[in-house]
Structure 1
């Protein structure tokens, strides 16, 4: 995988509802394809010259990242904020952010944290925080200075983090790997399949969805537009190897691509996951199967499209998602791309029919 591409995707400014910069970053790597966007900031990439009669497989990843929005401007110059996405409140204070004004200027700020010198004993020991009591400080001393800086209510902000690739360890450091890692996987997968498009049993459409972090809203639109028969969802999944024992962890960094069997939003299609597992074994692709007690992906929306869509969720284990800073491994990114491309290459009409459950009643109907 091109680390410069992942860098540009990761660094792009794109909290939920403000994904334009990510669209532009992705589009630079999608020049071989027909691309378009819609009014919600969803981005579509299609291979030209493919047989329109073939079933459609949608490659999904979401563009947006967790961020914040200016909710109000206080008299003392601090900004009240709301969250765009699911941060845990204890992970927010004492980090820097970048605010984008309506004119497009980027302004740095610090998320406030009360110095220990001023805390009561109860405050020092408490983990109870309220987003209404967490502010952003841009160095202003009153609301007039904030307004002179061009900041308005409703301006978006993101974590202030720059991408790095640590080549010796094969590890990426940055922000928004949930889910710029998935966006990079769509691009790489389409590139791997481009020269093979005429022998594929499916049409491949990349769909980069907006607003996943606030309720999988973009995928509800993309799936209506693409109308897929099958889908592969790429996700920057939470790595759990620091929190569970080796025998229990299911999202180990450098453990291979994650094949998700269940989360709060969907139950996987057993035939599709079995096909993926067999394909991974056939080609020696490292993988780890995952049953999630929590969390969700765009599969929850895509799987409910039309008469139901079989969805395969492939995760890139990423440490500390929904915080400022993430790690992920290059080898896991490449395993996700390799498995997705091999699955698509291995699909034939019989496999598609089986995955779509079109053969369940065959024996019953034959006996009539």
Structure 2
């Protein structure tokens, strides 16, 4: 991994930050980039906005800081916690996972007795923090407290495996792009957004404030390269995924075509992404005010919204390279 810092990526993957509680992530990112930008601030909703002044078009870059999580809704008399989801949680994936709360309390997800996996739903699950009673549990956790999957990231020369890859990997790419940029040709706003997993809320307010000429989001996308997977022309290691559509956006042809042209010009591996579900911050950004031409650079990822999301190191490197090429050169089509 010559292109970027493994240590920084691990820090980003481990820092606590479910939707609505992204302050620790913002603090880490701010410390990392504050000397690389002309202005940095946090808006009223919690988005971290870093402005790198330059000529040309005003471009908003977005990657979300929040990760999926669980929120405590009830503590029973035996000290077991019931919970609601923050973002998309699969009951089958969530069962038996370790979780960690902001204060460091660690628990494990258990299940009521069920006769078949078809009966496994979130309301059949509970969090066991090892409490002996409701009173004991309440000394550790309160109603409304949130937790996230808890596991150690694995990073080697080929792959990254971790919880929170969605979308700390997007934030990481933005940081690395900012570090590696030389002479920029555009007025860049690096926006590390909040509450994407619960409705792309931060991106909506940030775009309204910035009023960009165009926008690019960095996020993960699904793949079709595992055994008997849903057919999809995206796979790990095949390059930066240039989005064409998902359920939240039909990417602007000008943005998509310029990305393809730039990738070809600089011989950067890429693939085209048509996602038949889900969405990204660009889904909110492109509908802001009178409309913002928007696109997405996606990191192909297996096992999204699990504790072991997987991405290819080479894909991350190619997205960083393509981003640099986009922002260090003129955007003649815009």
TM-score (ref. length: structure 1): 0.85
- Confirm whether residue 159 of structure 1 aligns to residue 157 of structure 2: no
Q: Write the distance in 1 (CA, Å) between the matches of 2:25 and 2:263.
A: 31
Residues 61, 215 of structure 2: 8 Å contact kept:
yes
Q: Secondary structure at the match of 2:333?
A: helix
Q: Write the distance in 2 (CA, Å) between the matches of 1:296 and 1:243.
A: 24
Q: Write the distance in 1 (CA, Å) between the matches of 2:110 and 2:165.
A: 25
1:5 Cα deviation from its structure 2 partner: 1.4
Partner of 1:217: 201
- Confirm whether residue 311 of structure 1 aligns to residue 311 of structure 2: no
- Confirm whether residue 133 of structure 1 aligns to residue 124 of structure 2: yes
Residues 236, 316 of structure 1: 8 Å contact kept:
yes
1:6 Cα deviation from its structure 2 partner: 1.1
Partner of 2:95: 93
Larger C-alpha radius of gyration, 1 or 2? Answer: 1
Residues 253, 318 of structure 1: 8 Å contact kept:
yes
1:35 Cα deviation from its structure 2 partner: 1.4
- Confirm whether residue 5 of structure 1 aligns to residue 3 of structure 2: no
Q: Write the distance in 1 (CA, Å) between the matches of 2:214 and 2:168.
A: 22
Distance 1:232 1:244, change over 3 A: farther
1:249 Cα deviation from its structure 2 partner: 3.4
Greater strand percent: which structure?
2
1:57-136 map, 5 Å: 57-100=59-102, 105-114=103-112, 119=113, 123-136=114-127
1:1-368 map, 5 Å: 1-31=4-34, 32-33=36-37, 34-48=39-53, 50-51=54-55, 54-100=56-102, 105-114=103-112, 119=113, 123-149=114-140, 151-167=141-157, 170-193=158-181, 195-197=182-184, 200=185, 202-243=186-227, 248-348=231-331, 350-352=332-334
1:250 Cα deviation from its structure 2 partner: 2.4
Q: Write the distance in 2 (CA, Å) between the matches of 1:152 and 1:292.
A: 38
Residues 52, 188 of structure 2: 8 Å contact kept:
yes
Q: Write the distance in 1 (CA, Å) between the matches of 2:227 and 2:233.
A: 11
Q: Write the distance in 1 (CA, Å) between the matches of 2:243 and 2:252.
A: 10
1:2 Cα deviation from its structure 2 partner: 1.4
Residues 232, 340 of structure 1: 8 Å contact kept:
no
Q: Secondary structure at the match of 1:234?
A: strand
1:177 Cα deviation from its structure 2 partner: 0.8
1:79 Cα deviation from its structure 2 partner: 0.4
Name whichever of 157-166 and 32-41 sits farther off: 32-41
Q: Secondary structure at the match of 1:57?
A: strand
Q: Provide the aligned length of Structure 1 versus Structure 2.
A: 329
Runs of 4+ in 1 over 3 A off after TM superposition: 243-246
Q: Secondary structure at the match of 1:70?
A: strand
TM-score (ref. length: structure 2): 0.94
